[in-house]
Amino acid sequence: MYEQIAPQAIMSKSLAIIDAGVDLSGFGDGEKEIVCRCVHASGDFGIAGSIRFSPGAVETGVRLIKERVPIFADVSMVAAGISPSLQKELSLEVHTRIHCPEVLKLSGQKGWTRAEAAVWLAREIINGGLAVIGNAPTALWKILELAEKGITRPGLVIGIPVGFVGAAESKEALAASGLPYISCAGTRGGSPLAAAALNALMKLALRG
């Protein structure tokens, strides 16, 4: 039978369950916050062992948020999962390009996926900003390509695309790219995880 729980107690209880069920000893304090939020978003204790951070990624992300850099989301699902109240409190802007008419035109001309075209059209936003990739491995590949060519270099990549074609490989390439990143090894990932990681960073920024 359903046990009525006060709304404000639900998250606290969830995080207590996660803290008891996941070994977080290998993570720094800020990293623990992000891992817990990703576990909560996925409902999967096992995801904790797949979350990866470049050295100083959390501190970099918090700094960028405090500097109010633009945020690029690869798809609308990622943007929808980013807390609007935190965005407002921190005066942050989230940009997506996936549904712009120019994306469809450019993808047809270049033979790119729409996600690749969206990254290209947002390259000035991505440069120095926060790139949050939760759906399309091709978006992450395009960011890595543009960074390698010196066209755009994000301040931090939350690279958590999901899938069986190119997702794991794109995240391995991200880890080897030299870009600051938060990621999730293997085929698992998705928009809820990517948004949860950013939401956790925003909470950390508000605290400090």
Number of domains in the chain: 1
Q: What is the pLDDT of residues 40-74, one digit of tens each?
A: 999 999 999 999 999 999 999 999 999 999 999 99
Q: 8-13 long-range CB contacts below 8 Å, 24 or more apart?
A: 11/40
Examine residue 32 and state whether it is found in any structural domain, yes or no.
no
Q: Which of 29, 24, 25, 30 is nearest to 48 (CA)?
A: 24
pTM of the entire predicted model: 0.94
Examine residue 24 and state whether it is found in any structural domain, yes or no.
no
Examine residue 146 and state whether it is found in any structural domain, yes or no.
yes
Residue of 40, 114, 153, 171 marked catalytic: 40
Q: What is the pLDDT of residues 66-120, one digit of tens each?
A: 999 999 999 999 999 999 999 999 999 999 999 999 999 999 999 999 999 999 9
Q: List the domain range (segments joined by +) for residue 153.
A: 49-207
Give the β-pairing of 130-133 and 71-73.
parallel
> What CATH number does the domain containing 130 carry?
3.40.50.10230
Indicate if 40 belongs to the active site: yes
In one-letter notation, the amino acid at residue 2 is: Y
Examine residue 43 and state whether it is found in any structural domain, yes or no.
no
2 secondary structure, DSSP code: P
Examine residue 55 and state whether it is found in any structural domain, yes or no.
yes
Examine residue 21 and state whether it is found in any structural domain, yes or no.
no
Other CB atoms within 10 Å distance of the CB of residue 84: 10
Examine residue 144 and state whether it is found in any structural domain, yes or no.
yes
Examine residue 33 and state whether it is found in any structural domain, yes or no.
no
Q: What is the pLDDT of residues 117-175, one digit of tens each?
A: 999 999 999 999 999 999 999 999 999 999 999 999 999 999 999 999 999 999 999 99
